[in-house]
A and B are shown apart, each in its own frame.
Chain A
């Protein structure tokens, strides 16, 4: 009898041990997984990193948006750090009225959009020329083209400034439009490179068959190449638009004292004017912080809207356009 009991106990122990082992294995599976990258630990690590980095990325945005709603009391009050005590859109009203926001916005879109369109068209043509045809000195020209990206605008801006003032181009959109038409716009080399990469991937047979049917090079470009390149065209236009919109260094130089100003510059100008009126440490200056933030939010808002509608293109067409340059 006792032997039977011992046997049962033993087997129960064994079972328990087995269970323990299995449980241990299961836990290991769960935590580390088959190859570590599918385990829970790894996932926790990944999401922790993602949230930490995401917080860092979003922090200035959050700061800007919440700060822009604050009233003067909120700014002075140390206890109010993130959430404004009242929902206050006064700051926005001030900025919108003072800089004539909607007109300025139209100006800014015009200032960025027209050169961006010109840059897109010209870089498509140039990129196609480089990608499809062989001609003498092509390599040298190509290297020169890439070099133009590295040369800082500080070197060229001075003679350009003289040139523009001689030909009376200062203070008008033409100062940006003409270089863009000739493929020398803001970051023009990158756009040419994007199109170059894309057009090299277009199968030659397609173009040759069109040639056999008697299409001229321009017809081929317009009817075959351009429709294929629509993703690239969109991404080049978007990038170009964003960069022109955000540009302040050169536009600060070329557009000085004219009615046409980019939005960031106009907000900056207004703030500088406003701050100089009030003495250091006065309450109006304190409030100015919130107004500034509201101005910044309003500057970025059109871009954010654009980004949310088109981010698919920003994100997905990297592959299609071969921005990587191999």
Chain B
């Protein structure tokens, strides 16, 4: 054990030496030299070193890897896929055949594609239903386990399980086998009773709600964590003060708890929408991948890279709109109450 420790510290010592050498090389070459007073570029351009500039340089060098990564793995793919979405792309061996199509790909998505619009609408409806449910349940559970209850640790273990088990195939499997809908609810025919007494417009969302409630609850892991952290930051003495002034638990929830965690709701909304949208079982993204790999072909235009890029961008815009809608709705209510 001691040997290992020595070896590790030796390794880091060597690493430090290497870093020192690299730093020396970086700051003492023909292009750029640095001393205590000046930074010199190409032996001509001298810049006076101030504390602020030095801090800026160090800061940028810390995030340098991120900038490189952003350019390679985020900005370039985004621009390239936006560019592709205006083309019809055909792969011929190693070459790519591209013909400019203008907005035809986007048009095709809405006009000719028999599936895309349908599953997109389905996705939007699902989101509008599921996101509020997720948030409400996350809040309820967070408040429940924030109290003095017996076996706090055990309860938390149970409710954070979804953080661990969000594997696509596993959940898919459970869905296929019907483990994600609660049988007891269906057996007691509560749903049927409710459904019979409502008209269709109201009944079908409720039906979906009961069918998917389990699946939705499995998306609440991180959200519970976020709300719990927020709840724990509220000062207990505020509750005591309001209690002395005669506020019951109901009032103190609406007047203290909710306003204090309201800023977190936006964070939770963004997280929920994103995690549900990029979840591996989402119909839309499966369709996009299939189009990209040419596994589902519809017509001549609606295949391949260009078309799937267009679909991905449409999907992204819808997602951003949804986020704006939810965050906007929450914030309007907040302003009204103030």
A residues whose Cβ falls under 8 Å from a Cβ of B: 35-37, 42, 46-47, 49-50, 53-54, 56-61, 63-64, 67, 122, 125-126, 128-130, 132-136, 138, 141, 144-145, 148-161, 163, 178-179, 181-184, 188, 192, 217-218, 222, 239, 242, 245-249, 252-253, 264-265, 267-268, 289, 292-293, 296, 299-300, 303-304, 306-308, 311, 314-315, 318-319, 322-326
Contacts and interface: CB of A to CB of B under 8 A. Distances in A.
Interface in B45-104: 52, 55-63, 65-70, 72-74, 76-78, 80-81, 84
Given A151-B78, A182-B72, A141 B167 contact: no
A183 B65 contact: yes
Nearest to A149: B274
A246 B144 CA distance: 28
B211 to A, nearest CB: 13
B139 interface: no
B226 A323 contact: yes
Contacts of B225: 314, 318, 323
Ranked nearest first, the 6 interchain pairs of A and B with the lowest CB-CB distance are A133-B59, A182-B69, A129-B62, A156-B77, A135-B56, A129-B63
Q: How big is the B interface, by class?
A: 35 or more
B84 A182 contact: no
B62 to A, nearest CB: 3
Contact of A152 (B65, B164, B277): B277
B326 interface: no
Contacts of B65: 122, 125-126, 181-183
24 contacts: A46-B147, A50-B145, A56-B217, A58-B158, A60-B218, A126-B66, A135-B55, A135-B59, A154-B312, A155-B77, A156-B73, A158-B305, A158-B309, A181-B65, A183-B66, A184-B70, A184-B72, A248-B168, A300-B167, A307-B160, A311-B157, A323-B229, A324-B230, A325-B267
B189 to A, nearest CB: 18
Contacts of B320: 150
Contacts of A60: 174, 179-180, 214, 218
A179 B74 CA distance: 10
B108 interface: no
A136 to B, nearest CB: 7
B280 A248 contact: yes
A222 B62 CA distance: 13
B41 interface: no
Contact of A182 (B61, B68, B166, B226): B68
Question: What is the interface of chain A mostly: helix, strand, loop, or mixed?
Answer: helix
Given A125-B62, A126-B63, A249 B280 contact: yes
Contact of B162 (A57, A129, A179): A57
Contact of A217 (B58, B70, B292, B312): B58
A158 B84 contact: yes
Residue with the highest number of chain B CB atoms closer than 10 Å, among A181, A242, A289, A296: A296
Nearest to A62: B179
A222 B66 CA distance: 19
Residue with the highest number of chain B CB atoms closer than 10 Å, among A56, A245, A246: A246
Contact of A63 (B63, B179, B230): B179
Given A64-B170, A314-B225, 14 more contacts: A57-B159, A63-B177, A125-B65, A133-B55, A151-B74, A151-B316, A184-B69, A184-B73, A192-B66, A296-B174, A307-B157, A324-B267, A325-B264, A326-B263
Contacts of B315: 152, 154
A222 B9 CA distance: 12
Interface string B222-242: 100110111011000000000
A300 B169 CA distance: 11
Contacts of A158: 77, 81, 84, 292, 305, 308-309, 312
Contacts of A289: 177
A300 B165 contact: yes
Contacts of B233: 319, 324
Given A126-B63, A134-B55, A141-B63, A156 B213 contact: no
Residue with the highest number of chain A CB atoms closer than 10 Å, among B137, B153, B168, B267: B168
Contacts of B309: 155, 158
A49 B59 CA distance: 49
A152 B285 contact: yes
B289 A253 contact: yes
B66 A154 contact: no
B34 interface: no
